[in-house]
Structure 1
Amino acid sequence: MRDWTAGYVADIGYTYGYYPELNPLRARMAFLNAGLVFPEVLVACELGFGQGMSANLHAAASLTQWYGTDFNPSQAGFAQALAAASGSGAKLYDDSFVDFCNRSDLPEFDYIGIHGIWSWISAENQQVIVDFIHRKLKVGGVLYISYNTQPGWAAMVPMRDLLTEHASTLGAEGHGIVQRIDAALEFAEKLIATNPGYARANPSVHERLKQIKGHNRNYLAHEYFNRDWLPIPFSRMAEWLSPAKLDYACSAHYLDHLEALNLTAEQLTLLNEIPDPMFRQTVRDFMVNQQFRRDYWVKGARKLNPLEQVEALRQQKVVLTKSRADVPLKVAGTLGESAMSEAIYLPILDALADHKPKALGQLEQVLKDKGVLFAQIVQALMILTGATHLTAAQDEAATAKARKCTDKLNAHLLQKARGSSDLGFLASPVTGGGVSLGRISQLFLLAVSQGKKQPSDWAQMVWQILASQGQKIIKEGKTLETVEENIAELTAQASTFADKQLAILKAMQIA
């Protein structure tokens, strides 16, 4: 019998995460900052989409036609249900990579996204994907790929191997993956407690093990317990992608673009002395002890001249996605926390505080009397986006066309929130992607959509939903036992939602 799992964990579903790096709109801003031409993305593909949240949020919230596959039929089925609910027309399959990549009914793509799965699949499947990119990614097209990398994983690789060997050889027969994970972690802790030479030589492993124990077991199953699992250095990834004619473009992690946040002066001097840009990436990974890379590649990198770059950046729209008061004037990089200049950031945040999309050229005009230069605006917006306070925005025509699908998808997701906290994102036609929103806030939004006007009414409705399922609010680690306590806490949360979140959700055209 053919093993359709190919060694990949399939007896437990993946988490319902959303990954903004997969959003082509976000990629465009990174390309412009790097001085590179970015294509018009009309057709896109995600390989290994998991539960399909990213693929569906991007398909519903933009005018891009999305394709994709995930070999797990239960996950593909969930993703297809979301696509049907939104009416986006996303074509999502449960094919293996071999079967999907050899389909005869696929178009050429402007954009292909691969989040995480590269590190968990066999070399044979990796070769299938590279061949697919070579054949199906258009000239000028963009690849987003993320993967576990060295040297950040160097110390942990033996421990990962130990955990998976324990799960496969000593895990109780017939027990599910969660119980085998727990047993493997318990054994690893016992081993570390004996103070083995490995732990003495790698003191960071004990702390990493504690962090792993705190993770969601669905995440751990897919992150650590697949048969194939291999962190590779950047240079090896470059070798893999070379036959597909890809050039490295830039990091998809915006804060990587600001070296002052991540490298000392001495490190930056050494890095700038390296003439080869690819080797420079390898050396940089050693400097920051890189564990996970998120990268954009392009089939034929084309540089913008300085005038073209500035003109394109001036047209780029952005929108503030958090309350102005909730944006701290500090940002964390590899070197630790850095303060933002109030003279630069306060005027920018004030200009964006109404949560309406604005082009960088508009901000330039608004801020010209404040002494804020255009280059400072661009850098500040990269930092604010990297810190998740800001995001790129679509033009009004695309937003208006996408609104019909996002309304349908969000209505479906809000109904799901009545019974589960799994789905923590809604679709915004303004940003072309997902916006994070917890279950209780989603239920408040559901109450608003049903015509309830006051926070107290929202709280009553949410309490009825929770109480009917025997659920109660947990506050500061303590379960609230009485009806009065639960309604009082929900009312307080509803008032905060009304004051801080609702206006932003309306600006994002979610509410």
Structure 2
Amino acid sequence: MTDWTAGYVTEIDYTHGYYAELNPLRAQLALAAAGFAAPAGFAACCELGFGQGLSVNIHAAAGGAQWFATDFNPAQAGFAQWLAAASGARAALFDEAFADFCARTDLPDFDYIGLHGIWSWISDENRAVIANFVRRKLKVGGVLYVSYNCQPGWAAFVPLRDLLVEHHARLTAAGRGVVPRIDESLAFAERLFATSPLYARANPQVPERLKKIGEQNRHYLAHEYFNRDWHPMSVARMAEWLAPAKLQFAASAHLLDAVDAVNLTAEQQALLQEIPDPVFRQLVRDFCVNQQFRRDYWVKGARRLTPLTQAEALRAVRLVLVQPRGDVALKVTGALGEATLTEAVYAPILDALADHKPKTLGELEQALAPKVNFGQLVQAALVLTGAGVTQPAQDKAAASNAQPTTKRLDTALMNHARGSNDIAFLASPVTGGGLPVNRFEQLFLLAKAQGKANPPDWAAFAWQLLAAQGQRLVKEGKALETAEENLAELTAQAESFAQKRLPLLRALMVA
């Protein structure tokens, strides 16, 4: 029998995550802040290994690009294709292995290629296929987004991961299913650590990491740790892989990485400033922050902006607030821990964005002068977007064009939420991407779309669905048993939703 899995876990569903770093609009902000030119537009985009396809479907529906993508798991591809059919967006989604997809002759050249959570979990053979595909199909000036586990943050954990995989392969019964076998392997590792092995004493952080792993979703663990291939690598090795494709490192897609003050000591910043080579500088930075996971933008034929053109590119960036103003805490977490944002700078910016209407950084600069200067504004855009408080936004025409497809996609997702809690995002034509919207909020929106006018009616609609499936709410760690308790809690949530979240979702053209 042919093994089509290539050692990848397929017996258990991958999580239904949305990854904002795959949104090309985010790349425009990151590249401009780093001083690089972005493509003039993103007409054709590609995602390799789309998982359940939530990100690619949201970006295809909410943005202006045509998307091509593949995932070799037919169950995942089937779900993704169902979403694409529901939205009617320009998305061609395939269930092909990388070698087959990358050999297709009917694909255009791409302005943007993205792969999230793929590179570290595939074989060298597949990495070579992808690198060659990027060399052939990424346009000059095009952007590659790639995320991967990296050294040195994983160095101490690699032996434990190998132990878990070997126990899973050799000492658990395949017929029992993936989740029980993962539990057995974790339990064995805990028994080993209880004997106080020298490895644990030499690497005291590893037992704590094992404990945290044991608390995580087993579907996530299956795909994260229990595939045949799992290869953390340094950014320098990544540069070697991408060199034949003529790619240059441009910027981190994790925008908080661009803010040295919350990640690096003064001594570390001074050391890094002495290093002229950008890849080696990133390598040294990874040691400073003990980096475990990199999210990077690379550019083919990267073009440096002059100070004038960089400022022009940044002033053209549109930003929109995607949280209720009152919910935004002036705190952010970097490698050095939690930091408090300067209220004199951030409060005026947030107040100017409080109406949830997109504004360019140039417009904000004029509105906030002289209280906030342009440098502070750019740093705030990176911090707030990195923290999920703001997102880059499209112009009005692009948002209007995208609204019909996002409405159809969001309707499909909200209907899916009637029986499932696995998708917690909807698409916004304003941001060209996804917004966090939990299951109950989706059900309230669905009730509203079906003509139910007020929060008590939305709550009754949601409770009818939950009760029919034998489901109950959990409050403060305790299941609510009676119908009256559940309905009261749903009504309270619906009232809060109507006051705080609904105005935001209306402004972002979701509701």
Point out where structure 2 has 5 or more consecutive residues left out of the alignment. none
Provide Cα deviations, 1:458-510, integer angstroms capped at 9, x if missing partner.
Answer: 11111111111111110001011111111111111011101110001001100
SS of residue in 1 equivalent to 2:369: helix
1:241 partner SS: helix
3-state SS in 1 of match to 2:112: strand
Query: Which residue does 1:9 correspond to in 2?
Result: 9
DSSP-derived class of the 2:384 partner:
helix
The residue identity in structure 1 corresponding to 2:89 is: S
1:282 match: secondary structure: helix
The TM-score normalised by the length of structure 2 is: 0.99
What residue number does 2:417 align with?
417
Q: Which amino acid aligns with 1:325?
A: G
Local SS of the residue matching 1:143: strand
- State the aligned residue count: 510
1:460 paired residue number: 460
1:365 corresponds to which residue? Answer: 366
Please give the alpha-carbon distance, in whole angstroms, between the structure 1 residues aligned to 2:458 and 2:417.
Answer: 14
2:449 matches 1:473: no
- Residues 140-195 of structure 1 show CA distances to partners (whole Å, capped at 9, x for unaligned) of 10000000000000010000000000000001241111111010001011111110
Q: Which residue of structure 2 lines up, in the alignment, with residue 403 of structure 1?
A: 403
**Residue type of the partner of 2:230?**
W
Structure 2 CA distance, aligned partners of 1:244 and 1:179? 42
Opposite residue 441 of structure 1, the aligned amino acid is: E
Residue 95 (str. 1) matches residue 93 (str. 2): no
2:496 aligns with 496
Structure 1 unmatched runs, 5+: none
Question: Structure 1, residues 391-425: CA drift from partner, whole Å, max 9, x if none?
Answer: 00000111000001000000010100000001111
Runs of 4+ in 1 over 4 A off after TM superposition: none
**Which residue of 2 is the match for residue 232 of structure 1?**
233
How far apart are the structure 2 equivalents of 1:276 and 1:357? 37
Determine the C-alpha separation between the residues in 1 that align with 2:213 and 2:298: 30
Q: 1:184 corresponds to which residue?
A: 185
The match for 1:154 is 155
- Equivalent positions of 1:79-118 (< 5 A) are 79-118=80-119
CA distance in 1, matches of 2:483, 2:251: 53
The one-letter code of the counterpart of 2:156 is A
Q: How does 1:93-492 map to 2 (within 5 A)?
A: 93-369=94-370, 371-492=371-492
Q: Deviations 1:303-336 (Å, cap 9, x if unpaired)?
A: 1111111112111111000011111111111011
| Alpha-carbon distance in structure 2 between the residues aligned to 1:249 and 1:68 | 24
Identity %: 64
Provide the residue aligned with 1:52 in structure 2. Answer: 53
What is the CA-CA distance between 1:276 and the residue it aligns to? 1.7
The residue aligned with 1:505 is 505
Distance 1:60 1:422 in 2: 20
Report the 3-state secondary structure (helix = DSSP H, G, I; strand = E; otherwise coil) of the residue aligned with 1:174: helix
2:119 is matched by which residue type in structure 1? Answer: W
106-115 or 304-313: bigger deviation: 304-313
> Could you list the per-position Cα deviations for residues 96-120 of structure 1 after superposition, in whole angstroms to 9, with x for gaps in the alignment?
0000000111111000001011101
**Deviation of residue 2 (structure 1)?**
2.4
Contact 2:264–2:289 (CA under 8 A) maintained in structure 1: yes
The CA distance in 1 between the partners of 2:437 and 2:470, in whole Å, is 23
Shift of 1:275: 2.1
Partner of 1:67: helix, strand, or coil? Answer: strand
1:54, CA displacement in angstroms? 0.4
Secondary structure, counterpart of 2:68 in structure 1? strand
Deviation at 1:82, TM superposition (A): 0.3
* Distance of 1:311 and 1:271 partners within structure 2: 27
Q: What is the alpha-carbon distance in structure 1 between the residues aligned to residue 207 and residue 500 of structure 2?
A: 40
Contact 2:455 2:498 in 1 (8 A): yes
Describe the superposition over 1:240-277 as per-residue Cα deviations: whole angstroms up to 9, x where unpaired.
00000000001000000011110001111111122222
8 Å CA contact 2:150, 2:291 repeated in 1 = yes
CA contact (8 A) 2:44 2:67 kept: yes
Tell me the distance in 2 between the aligned counterparts of 1:352 and 1:451.
31
Letter paired with 2:300: K
CA shift, 1:52, in A, is: 0.3
Query: Structure 2: which amino acid aligns with 1:27?
Result: A
Q: Is the 8 A contact 2:249 2:278 kept in 1?
A: no
Q: State the distance in 2 between where 1:198 and 1:14 align.
A: 32
Q: TM-score, normalised by structure 1?
A: 0.99
Provide Cα deviations, 1:194-221, integer angstroms capped at 9, x if missing partner. Answer: 1000000011111111111111111111
For the 8 Å contact 2:447–2:458, the answer to whether it is kept is yes
